[in-house]
Structure 1
Amino acid sequence: MMSVVVTGMGIFSSIAPNLTDFLDALKSGRANYSIKMVTYGSEEMPVVGSFLEAFDFKEQLNSRQSIPAVLKEKALNAGRRAPTAIQASILAAMEAWIQARLSEHVAAEDSVSVIVAGNNLTNDYIAQMHRTYGDRPEYLPPRFILHSMDTDQVGTLSEIFSIRGEGLTTGGASASGNVALIKAFQLIKAGESDIALVVGPISELSPMIFQGFDKISALGGTGFIENPALACRPFDSGHEGFIPGQSSACLILESRLSAQARGVAPLAAMLSGKSCLDANRQANPAMEGQIRVMKEALRGAEIDAGKINYINAHGTSTPLGDETELRSIQAIFGSGKTGPWINSTKGLTGHCLYSAGVVEAVTTILQMQNGFIHPNLNLVNPVDDDCMLVGSQAKPAQIRYSLSNSFGFGGINTSVIFAGAGVNGTL
């Protein structure tokens, strides 16, 4: 079966608009938290989050000098009037596409697939349209119905990049990003695609969704309204709940044979990706499923637990979630100071929900490439001192093999494993 490599990455985030700036933010531990007032009916609530600031799509696209003029024009035509989430996906995907040199060494259009992570991606767009046109529906824009569907992301990206292979969205709640990576991995391994553009869109939550998360006590930040920078604290005893974040990210997966034929050097190899269920419709995590999926990922990668140098944890800053995940990791990798380093990117970016797995895959590979592990922001009093949790400063590290977890409501457990460039000839 085909081996799978990563040939391109891109990001457009609340903490950085591109890979270069994102890498700087990871190294320095730079975050960007603020307060957003959310009104639903008669209720108004402050929400702490890492929110994407307003941006000029055309200006952002024009700042990327390496984009061929024809491709840039297609992106402008497709994205200039699109919702913010579509524009952010285009910018992240464009960066990955250029890095993978797909505009120079074009692959057959039907050998490329596009997979978009998440579902119910447009709930805030629909809410905004309802507020604007609810009492005058005859003025609803004709493009509303297309923009209201998750497949608008798939169609827009396929049009810009002339993709004629498979296209789909993957729903897995907060595990959607990893689910998308796993589906792309499976397509390539099966020989159904040579290349897969995997995009994690930003999460734009409507006021009703924010209220819904608040009603089940999932949101954090209530104790940090005066200092939102302290609110997101994965694995710290002061954690209250998840802090939403907004980042769009893209990974281009490719068969090793295709990358070799195009003369493109891989950035990393994806060795394995597994998903399993807890047979549970609720929001609570379960050690059994987390342990099982990590073991299955290791089996799929054909390596033992001792080979893993680093774990990018799901680490949502929720008390039950953080503690359950650490116990699951210890059950496989052991306790003490000899196990893999552990951190949570959500401390820096917030919880990016649908795109989290793709954002964290980009983060993982950047750390592998650059020999460091980013800080665990606000980790002051760890919930468990018997793990190799990264502290408040980045640490130098040579990462050969890494594992990244994503878990979702409805008992969804996922783990993916990457190998660094040149590890045991994997690339």
Structure 2
Amino acid sequence: MSPAARIAVTGLGVLCSVGDGVTEFTESLRTGRSGLSAPGPGPAPGPAFTAPLRDFALDRSLDALRQLPAPLRDLALRTARRSPLPVQAAVTVALQAWQQAGLHEVAPPGDRTGVVVAGSNLTERYTEDSRARATPNPAYLPARYALHHQDTDHVATLSRVLGITGEGFTVGGASASGNVGLVSGARMLAVGVADVCLVVGALSDLSELQIRGFLTLGAMAVADAGNGGPGEHPAAPFDTRHRGFHPGQGAACLVLETEESARRRGAAVLGRLAGHAIALDGNHLADPSADGEARAMRAALAAAGLAPRDIAYVSAHGTGSPLGDATETTALRDLFGEAADGPWVNATKGLTGHCLAAAGVVEAVAVMLQIREGFVHPSPGLDKPADPGCRFSGPVAARTDIAFALSNGFGFGGINTSVALAHPDT
């Protein structure tokens, strides 16, 4: 990639159980504040712990963006106030990132701006709820159901609110969707079809059927498997008590921009997307492959022109699945060696829960904040690592300079991804 096409990060947005905006999210990362809690008894064994959004309101979140012009804020509210929760969350994080990037003041033409929404099957909860409303009487079906039940409603709404008239689409890669979105956005810029691209990790608002499916598969930690009882604390990813993932609600956005465009606009560069890779396993099931994960990390390093020794920190995929955690630590040790010689490792899902389609973008925001602030967030609940061969973060934040980091995302069906993120001064 030519220097003119180097990919800068100029804006960040995040909405999850431990933060509405980067300021609150940064403090939660620094202190290791977890959004996980036991959801309480239900009609059937359910998730052991969840990390839902708490008290989210679109108007309140938009009011917090005080630099946004009032017409833009009002347009966003009018457009999305009756949209499903995932679309409202997407608008919120996109506007947070839009404001930080200064795009409300100086932006390229609309046809030089693109948007990628990471995630698929995002509206099953909305569909399930709409079916329940419409079954007694079809007249109760929402008038815009045919629009809202499609994942592309995210793209269309963001296009309307932000005046984006360049390329836009959704991408899916199961739990690797966020990283697939970042790769797709970077490629959009690299081939020259846009100067700025918003990559939005879409909130997964799980339906009861989706929750039951994850529990049946054994991927989600169930409350009757020694988790979620009174007084219990959730096990962190990579701890010997792990029993599966804890679902979290979250959305996030990165503004990716060519460095040439950032210079023209006078935008502050927060960091860089230095390299990326996607590697498939040739597998349609849920079991991961250490070889595939290591191949993705090596390819991301090669794309960035980096060696393993250059990486100071790895944001692990780390879902809390015993098999998944063991596979990833095997891949990490294969690439980086044993703990004393390797980079710091943590898993943001231990704080936010598993944000599923949005996880890769939420975690990329977390990595960028830790690079900028010079720390690695704690791993509460990682009391006894199942594999001591990695340099896991401890109960408090570790101060460290991070020039380069990797952020991993691995999805069902053997979809392995890794992105290399860099300090702006590299």
TM-score (norm 1): 0.96
Structure 2 Cα separation of the partners of residues 123 and 250 of structure 1: 22
Report what 2:229 is aligned to. Answer: 226
1:312 and 1:404 in contact (8 A); partners too: yes
Q: CA deviation at 1:64?
A: 2.1
| 1:351 paired residue among 351, 354, 357 | 354
Report what 1:302 is aligned to. Answer: 305
SS across alignment from 2:264: helix
Aligned runs of 1:260-299 on 2, under 5 Å? 260-299=263-302
Pairing 1:25–2:49 present: no
Report what 2:400 is aligned to. Answer: 397
Structure 2 unaligned residues grouped into runs of 5+: none
2:47 and 2:220 in contact (8 A); partners too: no
Distance 1:402 1:279, change over 3 A: same
2:235 and 2:382 in contact (8 A); partners too: no
Aligned runs of 1:194-209 on 2, under 5 Å? 194-209=195-210
SS across alignment from 1:178: helix
1:234 and 1:316 in contact (8 A); partners too: yes
SS across alignment from 2:278: strand
Report what 1:64 is aligned to. Answer: 65
Q: CA deviation at 1:385?
A: 1.4
SS across alignment from 1:48: coil
Deviation per CA, 1:390-424: give whole Å up to 9, x if none: 1111100100000000000010000000110211x
Report what 1:370 is aligned to. Answer: 373
Structure 1 unaligned residues grouped into runs of 5+: none
Pairing 1:334–2:330 present: no
1:122 and 1:150 in contact (8 A); partners too: yes
Structure 2 Cα separation of the partners of residues 299 and 56 of structure 1: 43
Q: Which amino acid aligns with 2:293?
A: Q
Pairing 1:242–2:268 present: no
Q: Which amino acid aligns with 1:65?
A: R
Report what 2:388 is aligned to. Answer: 385
Q: Which amino acid aligns with 2:138?
A: P
Structure 2 Cα separation of the partners of residues 91 and 232 of structure 1: 30
Deviation per CA, 1:358-380: give whole Å up to 9, x if none: 00000000000001000112001
RMSD value over aligned CA atoms?
1.4
Structure 2 Cα separation of the partners of residues 44 and 324 of structure 1: 28
SS across alignment from 2:363: helix
Q: CA deviation at 1:228?
A: 7.6
Q: Which amino acid aligns with 1:389?
A: F
Pairing 1:409–2:412 present: yes
SS across alignment from 1:5: strand
1:232 and 1:242 in contact (8 A); partners too: no
Distance 1:326 1:72, change over 3 A: same
2:310 and 2:404 in contact (8 A); partners too: yes
Deviation per CA, 1:331-385: give whole Å up to 9, x if none: 1111131211000000000000000000000000000000100011200110111
Q: CA deviation at 1:227?
A: 4.6
Q: Which amino acid aligns with 1:257?
A: E
Report what 1:316 is aligned to. Answer: 319
Structure 2 Cα separation of the partners of residues 386 and 287 of structure 1: 15
Pairing 1:96–2:91 present: no
SS across alignment from 1:210: helix
Structure 1 moving runs of 4+ over 4 Å: none
Q: CA deviation at 1:313?
A: 0.3
1:115 and 1:170 in contact (8 A); partners too: yes
Structure 2 Cα separation of the partners of residues 422 and 391 of structure 1: 28
1:89 and 1:200 in contact (8 A); partners too: yes
